[in-house]
Amino acid sequence: MNSILIYEEEAYAIRGAIFEVYKEMKNGYREEVYQQCLELELSARGIAFQSKPELHVIYKGTPIEKTYIPDLVCYGKIIVELKTVTTLADEHRAQLLNYLRLTKMRLGLLVNFASYPKVVIERWVLGPNNRDNLEYLAKPQ
């Protein structure tokens, strides 16, 4: 596996905010709590983000009614999806893949705040042709 580190500085800054939230809150809260805490931490660190942007699905050039809503888009180019589950599953990864494909963004962070003793962050990169060649790049921190 070749390692592609895109948006390395931006991802590092986001991970720092995630670690701070976990350090302060630990695990055991609902996803919405971590969402609000992370938004406060990102703001305090001057990290630009959009909370719960609505993504429209396009089928053969025609928008359909179904929309998707990722938790955060940071720096206008990194999707951050938050979870509070025992273990991240393929359905969570597929959700992130859909977000990346819809936005044509290349980097996604899948975060599980329910893990113990550390928060789990998976770093995923969508290939340059925006196809299903999602490459898993990093194990939990």
Please report, for residues 80, 93, 117, the alpha-carbon distance to residue 128 in angstroms, rounded to integers and kept in the order given: 19, 18, 35
The single residue listed with the structure tokens 């942007």 is 53
Domain coordinates in residue numbering, the chain? 8-138
Just give the CATH number of 8-138. 3.40.1350
Taking only Cα atoms into account, the Rg of the chain, rounded to an integer number of angstroms, comes to: 15
Q: What pLDDT is stored for residue 130 in this prediction? A: 57
Peptide bond into 53 cis (omega under 30): no
pLDDT band at 100 (very low <50, low <70, confident <90, very high): very high
Q: Give the residues across from 49 on adjacent strands.
A: 74
Q: pLDDT of 2-40, one tens digit each?
A: 456 899 999 999 999 999 999 999 999 999 999 999 999
What pLDDT score was predicted for residue 4?
65
SS3 129: coil
Average pLDDT, the chain: 90
pLDDT in tens, 45-57: 999 999 999 999 9
